[in-house]
């Protein structure tokens, strides 16, 4: 389920991010081991992020990169990257009435996508 290409109008804009429970919330540094043992932790509180770029795969928006911009939030200033889940499906989503679930990565190092690959963004 890619995003509608009209979502490109959100480039440079702030969007609301509502994190949900998932694996890896304690890993904020690219040098931290990818798979860690231990208890899961709660996701961060919701925040705003500015979309800086979108990642296209097979003609559709499948992800993007931005920066967390919320002064009172512990993640303020961190990089955020997202990849729409099931990015090769046929349901088209947007940022208003048909929201997509995404895998996200947040950290202090800049993120990037590998050209021609559908995956969560990597640390630079």
* Whole-number pLDDT of residue 49: 97
pLDDT in tens, 71-117: 999 999 999 999 887 645 667 888 888 888 888 888 888 888 877 66
Partners of 45 in the β-ladder: none
**DSSP 8-state code for residue 83:** E
* Whole-number pLDDT of residue 100: 84
Q: What is the CA radius of gyration of the chain?
A: 14
């Amino acid at each position: 389920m890619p995003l509608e290409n009209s979502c490109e109008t959100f480039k440079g804009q702030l969007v609301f991010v509502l994190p949900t429970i998932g694996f890896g919330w304690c890993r904020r540094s690219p040098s931290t081991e990818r798979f860690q043992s231990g208890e899961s932790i709660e996701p961060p509180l919701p925040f705003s992020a500015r979309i800086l770029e979108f990642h296209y795969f097979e003609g559709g928006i499948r992800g993007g990169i931005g920066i967390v911009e919320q002064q009172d939030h512990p993640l303020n200033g961190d990089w955020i990257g997202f990849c729409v889940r099931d990015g090769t499906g046929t349901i088209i989503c947007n940022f208003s009435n048909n929201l997509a679930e995404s895998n996200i990565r947040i950290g202090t190092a800049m993120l990037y996508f590998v050209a021609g690959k559908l995956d969560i963004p990597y640390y630079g």
